Amino acid sequence: MSAKKIQSLNIETELGSIYKILRGDMKKKWKRVLPNNELLSNRWEKAEFIKAKKGASIYDNSYIFGNVKIGRNTWVGPFTILDGSGGGILVGDNCSISSGVHIYTHNTVKWALTGGKAEYEKKSVKIGNYCYIGPYSIITMGSSIGKCCVIGAHSLVNSKIPPYSIVMGIPGKVVGNIKIHGKKVTFNYFKTNMRKKK
């Protein structure tokens, strides 16, 4: 067996041992079993690296491009894309950007349809403070979400959303509003789509 092969086996053995220790520590401390890259990365350090504000955390497998600003204590979950390459993305304080959310500041549809003759369309995206963006939602260029909003899972936001709104659907529609009194939160859903009982 060559020296290189022996050295490679030693590295694999050492990495395997480190992985088992990290995996065991994570399960014991947080009751989580995560992929290797999440065991080796620090979500808070990644947030600091992109100059997010204090207390923000960003999963290692979150893709971040271009001009992205993230507020205090905001959580950016796994498998997210924050693409500020077309215009800026501004995410406020204390937001939850759930797993699989995509936020885009450009659109290449017209460019593709014209064989590259049309320019990319570019506009910024803004998400206010204290918002919850549900899993697998997509926020398109030019969208603006006011503070204290809930965007339901699998929604498509392509417009301006007023503060204290509940949004669901494709495209996203305001289906209710939110009232906040201290720690108490009330979700009020509009009844326009409910059928009358016979």
- Please give the mean pLDDT across all residues of the chain: 92
Please check whether the domain covering 42-189 is classified as CATH 2.160.10.10: yes
Spacing of C-alpha 175 from chain mean position? 22
Sign of the C-alpha dihedral computed for residues 178, 160, 138 and 60 taken in this order: negative
Q: What does the pLDDT average to over 68-97?
A: 97
Output the pTM of the full model: 0.87
**Residue whose pair of structure tokens reads 């894309």 in the numeric block:** 81
Per-residue pLDDT of 123-140, as tens digits, reads: 999 999 999 999 999 999
Residues 6+ positions from 21 with CB-CB distance below 8 Å: none
CA separation for the pair 60, 77 (Å, rounded): 9
CA separation for the pair 89, 126 (Å, rounded): 6
CA separation for the pair 141, 144 (Å, rounded): 9
**Nearest alpha-carbon partner for 162 in 175, 152, 171:** 175
Q: For the chain, give every domain's residue range.
A: 1-40, 42-189
Q: Give the Å distances, CA to CA, from 19 to 16, 23, 25, 33, 36.
A: 5, 6, 10, 11, 7
State phi, psi for 88 to the nearest 5 degrees.
-75, 155
pLDDT of residue 87 exceeding 70, the answer is yes
Per-residue pLDDT of 16-39, as tens digits, reads: 888 899 999 989 998 989 888 888
**Residue whose pair of structure tokens reads 């797993």 in the numeric block:** 99
Q: Give the Å distances, CA to CA, from 120 to 12, 61, 82, 89, 155.
A: 45, 26, 17, 17, 24
pLDDT of residue 1: 55
Buried b (16+ CB within 10 A) or exposed e, 37-56: ebbebebeebbeeeebbeeb
Per-residue pLDDT of 13-22, as tens digits, reads: 888 888 899 9
